[in-house]
């Protein structure tokens, strides 16, 4: 079954759905952010995947910064008491920071599979005559 031709699936769609980037049917995650060891449908080993801090970086840039700016604006413009921040700023921060983590991690893992990304390696110079004096 591993020798069959697999369809080219969109890394974005696979990431958002949390499905296997090879077959599109198996689950990519065992928990909220824990990658499964392999696809239960096609057997793809997910050990190639290493999104590292990518999902957190994207969430910080596109989720946390706007929500912190919202809290700062609220404080500067209205000087609200702390309990108002508890019921406004905190939910905005949680809503913009936690839900995007899983789809972003799925997208990065699926992109690594799609583009066949792997760890960089230094290539040694071919053996031959050394430098001339």
Question: Residue 130: is its pLDDT beyond 70?
Answer: no
Q: For residue range 34-77, what is the model confidence (pLDDT) as tens digits?
A: 999 999 999 999 999 999 999 999 999 999 999 999 999 999 99
DSSP-assigned states of every residue in 5-61: PPP---HHHHHHHTB-TTTSSSBSBSSSSPBPSB-TTT--BGGG---TTHHHHHHII
């Amino acid at each position: 079954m591993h020798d069959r031709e697999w369809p080219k699936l969109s890394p974005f769609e696979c990431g958002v759905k949390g499905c296997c980037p090879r077959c599109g049917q198996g689950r990519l995650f065992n928990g909220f952010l824990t990658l499964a060891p392999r696809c239960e449908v096609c057997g793809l080993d997910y050990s190639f995947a290493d999104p590292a801090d990518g999902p957190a970086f994207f969430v910080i840039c596109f989720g946390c910064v706007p929500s912190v700016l919202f809290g700062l604006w609220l404080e500067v413009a209205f000087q609200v008491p702390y309990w108002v921040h508890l019921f406004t700023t905190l939910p905005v921060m949680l809503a913009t920071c936690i839900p995007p983590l899983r789809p972003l991690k799925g997208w990065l893992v699926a992109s690594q599979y799609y583009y066949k990304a792997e760890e960089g390696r230094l290539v040694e110079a071919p053996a031959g005559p050394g430098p001339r004096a």
